[in-house]
Structure 1
Amino acid sequence: MEFETQYISPDIKLSLFSGKCFKTEVMFEHHILVWFISGETKIIQAEASYIFNAGDIFLIPRNQLATVINYPKDGQPHKAVAMHLTTEKLKEFYSRHKAVGKVQPLQKVYRFTRHPLLESCLASLIPYFDLGESLPADLAHIKIEEAISILRAIDKSVDGLLANFAEPGKINLADFMEHHYMFNMTLDRFGYLTGRSLATFRRDFKKVYNTTPQKWLTEKRLKLAHYQIAENKRKPNDVYLEAGFENLSHFSYAFKNLFGYPPNGLLQK
């Protein structure tokens, strides 16, 4: 089996991937704290991209579009422990602890590379995975609260993210789409993140761009890939995933259909 997930509680899991490459477009419902054990992960957001390796610890905010590409590395599978910091648990935590600083929807991925306190907290979960046993509910609650407390101790700005419980409101559609078109998400998701129902999203999109979302998204992604290949001399095989396509053959077909020549043709010019 190339991909395996083991849960020791509903909010704590160990993922293992041994294939060549696993790519997914995500918008997490809850914040996720990840401890990277082996392999490599590339996370691409609208304004930044990140590469994580063995030993790295990072926090991915909820309700943020991201492309996640996982690879094995150095003969080791992609292996990571993930802890979901749910809104329910955070609300309960902050009912007892006052948030420090301004509470606002911060969008960055927080990096806590090889921090000994966090690593110790997450490493203490490994025996339960090794034994294949569930973590008692009260102990799982304690470990999640321990992780939250450590995050707050080592990064004073993290309350701005963790204590913010607002849902996405209606925002400027054009601004959002210009920054997030490369994410291969459903139109429902795009609508949700812009504060719209699917029907309202389609209607507003037509007013702004005078075309359908599907056609506009495909052309924008292909033009992004064209730029990466032509100007940055990247190979099509290294570009198509980041440009929002699921497989190389579909990307190559759509590319040739729009530009009149295959993506490899750019490398020969």
Structure 2
Amino acid sequence: MEHQSQYIHPHIKRSTFGSRFFKADVLFEDHLLVWLLSGETKIVHGDKTHVFGAGDTLLFPRHLLATVLNYPKNGLAHQSVVMHLTTEKLKDYYHKKQPAADSLMGFEPSFISFKKHPLLQSCLASVAPYFDLQEELPDAIASVKIEEAIHVVRMLEPGIDNLLANFAEPGKIGLSDFMERNYMFNMPLEKFGYLTGRSLTTFKRDFKRAFATTPQKWLTRKRLDLAHYQIREKRRKPSEVYLETGFENLSHFSFAFKKQFGYAPTEATV
């Protein structure tokens, strides 16, 4: 078994990755509350890498580009329970409870770890038996549990209303700055267009104006330059770098690297 998802409700699942690591560049439509049961998760966003281990609870914001790497650890598969905090559910929640007045500014969307907090562990424990019994969680109970989770994260993280109660879709933003911050994510051009508030046609047109080249050529060069820096200056191994710089497999990365720089990645530190 490499990957298995067990749903007890459309918005609550247990995800298991088997004996090998999993990597994906992701962009979620919902906020995700993730309880990490075993294994290790690394999330690369911008120039930062966040590391989460067994027992951590993670809030993964929606509409945030990131590279996720899940690893088995200590002989155990990577396993987590994931709860979707959907826009529909959050709108219903905030219709009944107004966002905190002092939370509506200055909160930078990012990954939040709550460590081993007893209130979140209690919330997890209350749904765990449904996975073990392989029974469906009734909608009424699921609604209560999701609302309970929202209550708890609001209590633990002051200012989070600015994230959870923000229902705006991406608007048109500066293309150059956005691409310079997010080029390492291996996403379809349609997704880059969506996040910058553009159709695919407009994205390609504006990109050509901004960078005087095509998105594909620019992205490849930027990713290779980043990989070269990580290997040569940071003394990292090619096998550690290629996934974090937007390449899907080591052989393709090595071929593109040698074509660009005239020598293999393994020779970059010589």
TM-score (norm 2): 0.97
Alignment of 1:21-170 (within 5 A): 21-100=21-100, 101-103=102-104, 106-170=108-172
Which amino acid is 1:99 matched to? P
Instruction: Give deviations 1:201-230, integer Å, cap 9, x for gaps.
Output: 000000011100001000100000000000
CA contact (8 A) 1:12 1:81 kept: yes
Which of 192, 195, 219 is the equivalent residue of 1:193? Answer: 195
Alpha-carbon distance between aligned partners in 2 of 1:71 and 1:241, rounded to the nearest angstrom:
13
Alpha-carbon distance between aligned partners in 2 of 1:247 and 1:148, rounded to the nearest angstrom:
38
CA contact (8 A) 1:118 1:150 kept: yes
Alpha-carbon distance between aligned partners in 2 of 1:42 and 1:86, rounded to the nearest angstrom:
24
Which amino acid is 1:200 matched to? T
Which amino acid is 1:103 matched to? L
Q: How far is the alpha carbon of 1:110 from its aligned partner?
A: 1.1
Which amino acid is 2:224 matched to? L
Which amino acid is 1:246 matched to? E
Alpha-carbon distance between aligned partners in 2 of 1:103 and 1:206, rounded to the nearest angstrom:
36
CA contact (8 A) 1:188 1:198 kept: yes
Which amino acid is 2:20 matched to? K
Which of 172, 175, 187 is the equivalent residue of 2:174? Answer: 172
Alpha-carbon distance between aligned partners in 2 of 1:21 and 1:145, rounded to the nearest angstrom:
32
CA-based RMSD: 1.0
SS in 2 for 1:195: coil
Alpha-carbon distance between aligned partners in 1 of 2:186 and 2:109, rounded to the nearest angstrom:
19
Partner of 2:13: 13
Which amino acid is 1:96 matched to? K
Partner of 1:206: 208
Q: How far is the alpha carbon of 1:81 from its aligned partner?
A: 0.3
CA contact (8 A) 1:103 1:164 kept: no
User: What 5-or-longer segments of structure 1 have no aligned partner?
Assistant: none
Partner of 2:263: 261
Alpha-carbon distance between aligned partners in 2 of 1:143 and 1:74, rounded to the nearest angstrom:
31
SS in 1 for 2:263: coil
CA contact (8 A) 1:18 1:72 kept: yes
Higher mean alpha-carbon deviation, 204-213 vs 107-116, is at 107-116
* Number of residue pairs matched by the alignment: 268
Higher mean alpha-carbon deviation, 15-24 vs 241-250, is at 15-24
Alpha-carbon distance between aligned partners in 2 of 1:19 and 1:107, rounded to the nearest angstrom:
32
Alpha-carbon distance between aligned partners in 2 of 1:103 and 1:23, rounded to the nearest angstrom:
34
Which amino acid is 2:116 matched to? R
Q: How far is the alpha carbon of 1:47 from its aligned partner?
A: 4.3
The share of aligned pairs that are identical, in percent, is: 59
Q: How far is the alpha carbon of 1:46 from its aligned partner?
A: 1.3
CA contact (8 A) 1:3 1:19 kept: no
Alpha-carbon distance between aligned partners in 1 of 2:252 and 2:34, rounded to the nearest angstrom:
32
Alpha-carbon distance between aligned partners in 2 of 1:219 and 1:118, rounded to the nearest angstrom:
43
Alpha-carbon distance between aligned partners in 1 of 2:127 and 2:242, rounded to the nearest angstrom:
37
TM-score (norm 1): 0.98
Q: How far is the alpha carbon of 1:106 from its aligned partner?
A: 3.3
Alpha-carbon distance between aligned partners in 1 of 2:42 and 2:33, rounded to the nearest angstrom:
15
Partner of 1:219: 221
Q: How far is the alpha carbon of 1:19 from its aligned partner?
A: 2.6
Which amino acid is 1:199 matched to? T
Instruction: Give deviations 1:132-173, integer Å, cap 9, x for gaps.
Output: 111011000000000001111111211111111011111000
Alpha-carbon distance between aligned partners in 2 of 1:203 and 1:223, rounded to the nearest angstrom:
24
Alpha-carbon distance between aligned partners in 1 of 2:182 and 2:49, rounded to the nearest angstrom:
13
CA contact (8 A) 1:90 1:163 kept: yes
Higher mean alpha-carbon deviation, 134-143 vs 100-109, is at 100-109
